[in-house]
Amino acid sequence: MTRLIVWRHGNTDWNAGARVQGQTDVPLNDLGRRQAVDAAELLVRMRPAAIVASDLSRAADTAAALAALTGLAISTDERLRERHFGEWQGLTMAEVAAQRPEEHARWTAGADVIGGGVETLEDLGKRVSDALQDAARQAPPGGTVVVATHGAAARQGVGHLLGWGREQLRTLRALQNCHWVELTHDSARGWQMAAYNVGVLAERPVPPPV
């Protein structure tokens, strides 16, 4: 049985300020780096055979904390990047709500945003799901792969991989920084979720994965 760990990156200053990151390359802050080290000390016990990360620095640097403990090289895949939020990127969510109320209302309702250059949920789910499946192939049968990615990307990619509908996905809370999803795969059952939002106890409330 192959195990896939889908790991959200550590905290950034934009996370802390509820600012939309999307594909802007925002680095980890001091808290995020501590979170990555603490989480890596748990994940190393799973004896990963491979580590794959988004090429955005907040995810790649999170993965580096685990690579330092395992000696494994990190493979990067740009398909694991966060959802592209177009003209929202760099704004706080309060600014999005004030300046682009119709788009914000659709986002809040879980619908695709019309306008603003925001990536569709279907496109996001498919590209991340494809990347997750390719990452899983890097492990030998029965092995574990850890994938460092982003909040919205993780949730939508996992949902697409499992064949879940949009309403079903909305029942999942946002992944906290440096928490992960555990998936397993075998030939009889296909992909299954074994655990969700697992990690070291959060040090502070975490804003939505943007």
* Model confidence pLDDT, tens digit, residues 139-191: 998 999 999 999 999 999 999 999 999 999 999 999 999 999 999 999 899 99
**pTM assigned to the model:** 0.93
Q: What is the DSSP letter of 201?
A: P
160 is a catalytic site residue: no
Fold designation for 7-131+162-187: Rossmann fold (3.40.50)
185 is a catalytic site residue: no
Query: E strands of the chain, at which residues?
Result: 2-8, 50-53, 74-76, 144-149, 180-186, 190-198
Closest CA to 122 of 76, 170, 83: 83
Closest CA to 62 of 210, 201, 199, 205: 199
Catalytic pick among 41, 78, 82, 122: 82
- Locate the domains of the chain by residue range: 7-131+162-187
Binding-site members are 8-15, 58
